[in-house]
């Protein structure tokens, strides 16, 4: 096999790439009498073990060997795959290098294991050619991503030529991208001894804008700005502020879910991580995706100075802020930084008090779009409760429903969409308990 002739698709993670090289070695030498048959058989069973473990970790099913190869192709970030992500087919000599590598992978896909299995007495290899994953759980991918990889493996197997296989892979890069940014919607950052890492968030709530009852003007404002951003038009940093439980964070989740297929990715950053923002931006500025740096519940106490890092990133230094990066933040405060009378009155400590106040107020001015989420009045709250009850098929007379909802909100945080959802969840729980009691009786 020609695994060492790969030009672009190499430099895999050590654990991932070693299985490819071990299988390639077996393909070349399983009949070679120089090597002990027991050792060769043991290596093949070790490879079978690793493929089954791969299925357990990744949730793969079907032909695990094909799924493994597909997983290598969709995660390898090289000059071809990153150029094709989101935009699709590109021009240039790089296509010849990509086709050269795909021809090698096609040989791996088409390899007939029949003689190897018979020679090494490894009938157990049939386990990995038609694997049924009972649990379907994955520690690496969510179900949506896992299924896409398994389906792509089937498509590759159906491709007759390396050219067809390359076209299939390129179309995948166009639709979903490559590597962690291609396969995942949202991310967080971690800082270890090796530096700043952008790490996928495996499970994000499947919230869409239609799930947020009311707030139509607010949702339109967010959508309009995000539409402009993903379409390459001018867009602004966006601040969602207002009362607790009114849908600010849910709106961000809706953005992540509804704009993923259009190349938008979201990176969540906490206040103590603002000093890492420049490193984060350096890692994403040359990719074809659009990135939202998301800051939840953003606010600063008087003694906190992290907002200075944020202002510097928004404003940019000598280097222009990348066009594929925007900042979206949520906050319960309009002005983000706590102000005190001391800022306005105590001139003994600061000869230029007005400058200090303006510096604090200027942060919110960096957000070109501000969206206010206010608590609903009683009538709006009842409308939200009614909509949610109908959505979850709760059958209760409207008058009784509203009366119970009003009693609930008085002792559970007041009028808000969150309180309405919690009330409906309570009803669903009671409904399930009542159904169980009926069955037991």
In a shared domain, residues 139 and 257: no
Which residues constitute the domain of residue 389? 378-440
Looking at 342, 373, 404, the residue that finishes a domain is 373
Question: Does position 316 have pLDDT exceeding 90, yes or no?
Answer: no
Question: Does position 436 have pLDDT exceeding 60, yes or no?
Answer: no
* Residue 97 tokens, joined: 């290098």
Provide mean pLDDT across the span 15-44: 93
Looking at 373, 401, 425, the residue that finishes a domain is 373
In a shared domain, residues 76 and 117: yes
Q: How confident is the model at residue 339 (pLDDT cuts 50, 70, 90)?
A: low
CATH number for the domain harbouring residue 225 = 3.40.50.300
In a shared domain, residues 260 and 169: no
In a shared domain, residues 304 and 386: no
Provide mean pLDDT across the span 169-178: 95
Tokens 């400590």 found at:
349
The Cα-based distances of 377 to 102, 321, 383, 413 in angstroms read: 61, 41, 10, 14
- Point out the least confidently predicted range of 94-108, 357-371, 404-418: 357-371
Tokens 């094709």 found at:
84
Q: Which residues contact 294 (CB under 8 A, 6 or more apart)?
A: 186, 252, 266, 267, 268, 269, 327, 328, 329
In a shared domain, residues 111 and 207: no
In a shared domain, residues 353 and 214: yes
How far, rounded to the nearest angstrom, does the alpha carbon of residue 376 sit from its chain's CA centroid?
31
328 and 237 in contact (C-beta within 8 Å)? yes
* pLDDT at residue 439, as a whole number: 44
Quote the percentage of the chain above a pLDDT of 70: 86
Provide mean pLDDT across the span 345-357: 50
Provide mean pLDDT across the span 20-37: 94
Looking at 182, 208, 236, the residue that finishes a domain is 182
103 and 10 in contact (C-beta within 8 Å)? no
Which has more confidence, 67 or 440?
Answer: 67
Cα–Cα nearest to 406, from 417, 387, 420: 420
User: What is the reported pTM?
Assistant: 0.85
Question: Does position 39 have pLDDT exceeding 50, yes or no?
Answer: yes
How many domains are contained in the chain? 3
Q: What is the DSSP letter of 321?
A: P
């Amino acid at each position: 096999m020609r695994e060492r002739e790969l030009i672009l698709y190499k430099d895999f993670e050590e654990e991932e790439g070693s299985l490819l090289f071990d299988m390639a070695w077996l393909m070349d030498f399983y009949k070679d009498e120089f090597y002990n048959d027991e050792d060769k058989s043991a290596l093949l069973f070790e490879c079978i073990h690793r493929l089954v473990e791969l299925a357990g970790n990744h949730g793969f099913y079907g032909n695990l060997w094909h799924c493994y190869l597909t997983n290598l192709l969709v995660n390898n970030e090289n000059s071809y795959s990153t150029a094709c992500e989101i935009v699709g087919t590109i021009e240039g000599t790089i296509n010849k290098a990509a086709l050269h590598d795909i021809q090698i992978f096609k040989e791996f896909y088409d390899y007939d294991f029949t003689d190897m299995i018979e020679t090494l007495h490894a009938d157990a290899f049939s386990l990995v050619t038609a694997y049924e994953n009972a649990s379907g759980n994955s520690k690496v991918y969510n179900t949506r991503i896992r299924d896409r990889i398994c389906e792509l493996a089937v498509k590759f197997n159906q491709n007759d030529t390396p050219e067809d296989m390359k076209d299939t892979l390129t179309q995948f890069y166009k639709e979903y991208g490559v590597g962690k940014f291609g396969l995942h919607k949202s991310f967080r950052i971690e800082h270890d001894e090796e530096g700043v890492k952008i790490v996928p968030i495996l499970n994000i709530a499947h919230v869409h804008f239609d799930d947020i009852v009311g707030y139509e003007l607010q949702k339109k404002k967010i959508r309009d700005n995000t539409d402009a951003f993903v379409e390459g038009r001018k867009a602004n940093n966006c601040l969602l502020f207002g009362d607790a439980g009114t849908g600010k964070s849910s709106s961000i989740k809706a953005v992540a879910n509804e704009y993923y297929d259009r190349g938008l990715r979201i990176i969540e950053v906490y206040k103590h991580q603002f000093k890492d923002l420049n490193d984060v931006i350096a890692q994403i500025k040359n990719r074809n995706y659009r990135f939202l740096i998301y800051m939840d519940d953003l606010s600063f106490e008087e003694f906190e100075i992290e907002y200075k890092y944020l202002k510097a990133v928004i404003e940019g230094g000598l280097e222009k802020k990348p066009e594929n990066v925007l900042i979206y933040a949520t906050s319960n405060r309009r002005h983000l930084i706590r102000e005190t009378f001391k800022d306005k009155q105590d001139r003994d400590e600061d000869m230029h008090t007005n400058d200090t106040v303006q510096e604090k107020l200027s942060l919110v001015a960096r957000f070109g779009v501000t969206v206010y989420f206010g608590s609903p009045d009683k009538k709006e709250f009842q409308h939200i409760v009614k909509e949610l009850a109908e959505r979850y098929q709760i059958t209760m007379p409207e008058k009784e429903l509203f009366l119970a909802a009003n009693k609930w909100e008085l002792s559970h945080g007041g009028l808000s969409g969150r309180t309405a959802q919690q009330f409906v969840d309570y009803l669903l729980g009671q409904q399930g308990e009542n159904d169980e009691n009926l069955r037991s009786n």
